Chains A and B, each alone.
Chain A
Amino acid sequence: MDEGQAAGPGQRSVEIGVTVATALFGLIVILGSMQVGIGWGAEGPKSGFFPFYLGVIIMLSSAVNLLEAARKSGDKIFADWSQLRQVLAVVIPTAVYVTVIPWVGIYVSSFFLIGLFMVWLGSYRIWYAFTLSAVIMIATYMTFEKWFLVPLPKGPFEDFLGL
């Protein structure tokens, strides 16, 4: 990879961000443990006893990692913007996908996910992409519902078909 030429967020700032996030997580664990008690009760160590120390270790280690990250040189980039755009091109449609599954079922949403991916990222013709996508979903339906008897979430479309 050609560093320095392409622009993007620095590896150092992302690392610092991650350590802050892990420290925050540690803090949440500590607070949650204190709610249920971190001392000794009638039945021995209380529920918060073990997680409390986990939280403490997470925060201490995050502090070490923060110092390590801060000492790094700042010129290395995490990924350039075009790469991050590619990542978001997966994350955003997938986020929509997982949100609509409870309403339209997994088959219809997956049909659109695969089809749109093929059209967007692979520049396939629309009819080709969606035909293939439909074939994949029918095969999936047969495998899970008929052969392995595993029911998957369904929506109004499946109701309409009477499946």
Chain B
Amino acid sequence: MEDIVSLFHGFAVVLQPFNILLMCIGILLGVIVGVLPGLGGANGVAILLPLTFSMSPTSAIIMLSCIYWGALFGGAITSILFNIPGEPWSVATTFDGHPMAQQGKAGEALTAAFTSSFVGALFAVIMITLVAPLVAKFALQFGPAEKFSVFFLAFCSFIGMGKEPPFKTIVSMMIGFALAAVGLDSVTGQLRLTFGFESLLNGFDFLIAVIGLFGIGEILLTMEEGLEFRGKSASINVRVVLQTWAELPRYWWTSLRSCLIGVWMGISPAGATPASFMSYGIAKRVSPRGRNFGKGEIEGVVAPETAAHAAGTAALLPMLSLGVPGSPTAAVLLGGLLIWGLQPGPLLFVEQKDFVWGLIASMYLGNLAGLIIVLTCVPLFAAILRVPFSIIGPVILVFCAIGAYTVHNSTFDVVMMLVFGIIGYALKKTNYPLAPMVLAIVLGDKAEEAFRQSLLASGGGLGVFFSNALVGSIMALGFVVLFLPLIQAAWTRMRGAAAA
């Protein structure tokens, strides 16, 4: 009940004219970020983060989270009209979305995609509203060992549930942790791993890493592929929207299933991309029209879009309540909290009520505003995509450089950005996942602190991580997720042996 009051208070904050303006600017920027190659949710937010330093944290998070919603919406536009996924989570949308556009049903496909996104996000936000305060209250009792076990679980799920080879995920993650360790040791105050270089005193900032790995790396990939945009034109009019809306309730079961998949995958840090693929795959298998999938079936647009948005939104639940982001973009938002002087984690719900509920309220309104904006502005966004890459490419480079510079007003960071970019390109081409690295850079200090404090309390024994039922079961769950591929393989073999 108290939470409902707080939520309405949050709505009042968001509905201030200045915040509504920021919301719309955020959505517009977000869609542009989502539409352009080389700019994604994570680095879009990272580049624009410095612009918010002078704002109040609540206004800042409203604008930045709206950039995130916008980016989620924007990915669908390029997938459907150009058959180019603007974001990895919209790859599955191309399978049926683009065939629909080729058949002249671009309007229907876009309306279905946007509406499904909205439904998925709404489902996840309602879930966050109901569950997040409870999780936070629970997590308030966590000691260092429990905190570490949550980090452990989050990172294990990357290794066990990711589609990349597990040892590549481990390397990528551990490099992230090591980069986070460079500079001042937060526990002892000692300098480490700087090898006498003064510019390493403050360590590596994850924002620079995000801008380099995702932004510059993506531009290099785009250059290599020699991308050319040849798209379908699209216009959406009221009649098409209403027609599609009348048709959509038929797929309520697909929607609900995709919402559940999305929310589950979003909370565990698997993220939006696997959620969209999984949802598409299941819909294809169980739908009576499953054989038409891939030829322009509207259900094939509904399933991945709903799941991707539900996952993208649900990724904010662990970030808000536990301080463990569920996706790279959520990690950047978490970094933003630190910069604005807020301590992410369960205490937010006690100490920063305005901020938390303002953010949750802006999720409701931001997604609604997003739906309206994307439905009305599709031709504008499609026009942006027609600007040749020889103009867009260098402009994105310049904005990445500006974003990297403004983090600490340091030109050395701009150089580091390029270095991260080249590393990102090489790692991506050799199938190393980048998301675990970014998350490790963000969480490294906190994970290490929790680990060392636990060991300090136990006098060095690892038994502290199994000292009570709670921490023991989270750690055990972590190990189960870590060895999930092996467990699944063993299970299949056992079943095969039993059947034979």
Contact = CB atoms under 8 A, between A and B. Distances in A.
Interface of A: 11, 14-15, 18, 22, 25-26, 29, 32-33, 35-36, 40-41, 43-51, 54-55, 57-58, 61-62, 64-65, 68, 78-79, 83-84, 86-87, 89-91, 94-95, 97-99, 101-102, 106, 110, 113-114, 117-118, 120-122, 124, 132, 136, 140, 144, 148-153
A61 B390 contact: no
A43 to B, nearest CB: 6
Interface string B152-192: 00000000000001011011001101100100010110111
B393 A29 contact: no
A89 B406 CA distance: 26
Contacts, number: 173
A11 B428 CA distance: 12
B193 A29 contact: yes
Closest 7 CB pairs of A and B: A122-B390, A117-B394, A32-B193, A44-B456, A121-B390, A47-B185, A114-B394
Given A14-B426, A54-B174, A121-B393, A87 B406 contact: no
B228 to A, nearest CB: 12
Nearest to B391: A118
Contacts of A94: 216, 397, 418, 421
A33 to B, nearest CB: 7
Nearest to A25: B175
A65 B448 contact: no
Contact of A64 (B167, B411, B425, B451): B167
9 contacts: A22-B175, A45-B456, A47-B190, A49-B452, A58-B171, A79-B224, A149-B54, A150-B50, A150-B53
A124 B390 contact: yes
Given A61-B167, A91-B220, A150-B51, 6 more contacts: A44-B456, A68-B167, A83-B226, A121-B393, A122-B388, A148-B51
Contacts of B192: 32-33, 35-36, 47-48, 51
A112 B39 CA distance: 22
A25 B181 CA distance: 13
B167 A65 contact: yes
B234 interface: no
A110 B389 CA distance: 16
Contact of A90 (B185, B223, B402, B430): B223
Contact of A118 (B174, B390, B456): B390
Nearest to B429: A78
Contacts of A11: 430
Contacts of A14: 426, 429-430
Contacts of B460: 40, 45
Nearest to B432: A18
Nearest to A69: B430
B101 interface: no
Contacts of B405: 101, 106, 152-153
B240 interface: no
A122 B391 contact: yes
Nearest to B184: A47
Given A47-B185, A51-B193, A99-B415, A152 B406 contact: yes
Interface string B16-36: 000000000000000000000
Contact of A44 (B394, B398, B406, B452): B452
Given A65-B168, A97-B401, A98-B417, A33 B394 contact: no
B220 A117 contact: no
Contacts of A98: 401, 411, 414-415, 417-418
Contact of B452 (A25, A45, A97): A45
A85 B364 CA distance: 46
Contacts of A99: 415
Contacts of B190: 36, 47
A114 B389 CA distance: 11
B397 A113 contact: yes
B395 interface: yes
A44 B449 CA distance: 12
Interface string B230-251: 0000000000000000000000
Nearest to A22: B171
Given A132-B391, A153-B411, A32 B195 contact: yes
Given A15-B430, A51-B192, A65-B168, A83 B406 contact: no
